[in-house]
Amino acid sequence: MFVGILRLRLAVVGARSLKDKRRVVKSMKERAQAKFRVSVAEVGQLDDPRHATLGVAVVSNEAAQCDRVLADVAAMASTLPDAVLADRATEIIALGDGGSGVQGGIEQALGSPLDAHDDEEDA
């Protein structure tokens, strides 16, 4: 399993209040969620009416699919009429088998209970 994470830093053009900013951020979030089926949250610069930092996440069984979806979200963000994409960063994390034998996250912390469950089904 792969988790793709995208950080978008936006400059909100013409926003004079947090209400103006929320309108732009809400529109971006709703468009991204509807079109790309991703999770989106405002994660930084919450009290600054002219700037927003958004976190976007997607899960897939292919790293390349995560990368494509996040690139498409960033491309959409770069075309927003009321905001300028100032910066972006992407990270793809492999969890569990992930196609590369990487073990991490909750599976590693709990001693890989998913593997134990798989063994029970085989019995």
- Output the domain CATH number for residue 62: 3.30.70.1120
pLDDT score, position 103: 47
The pLDDT-based confidence of 18 (bands split at 50, 70, 90) is: very high
What is the pTM for the complete model shown? Answer: 0.76
Count of domains for the chain: 1
**CA angle (71, 73, 75) in 5-degree steps:** 70
CA dist 63 to 23, 50, 67, Å? Answer: 32, 33, 6
pLDDT digits (tens, 9 = 90+) for 96-123: 864 554 445 444 444 444 444 454 455 4
- Cβ atoms < 10 Å from Cβ of 65: 15
Is the pLDDT confidence value at 67 over 50?
A: yes
Check if the beta carbon of residue 7 is closer than 8 Å to that of residue 88.
yes
The gap between the terminal CA atoms of the chain, to the nearest Å, is 25
Across the range 41-59, mean pLDDT stands at: 96
CA dihedral 56, 61, 62, 66 (to 10 degrees): -10
Over residues 33-47, mean pLDDT: 96
**∠ CA 86-37-48, rounded to 5°:** 35
Q: Which residue has the higher pLDDT, 5 or 110?
A: 5
Range of weakest confidence among 4-18, 82-96, 107-121: 107-121
What is the extent of the structural domain holding 89?
A: 2-122
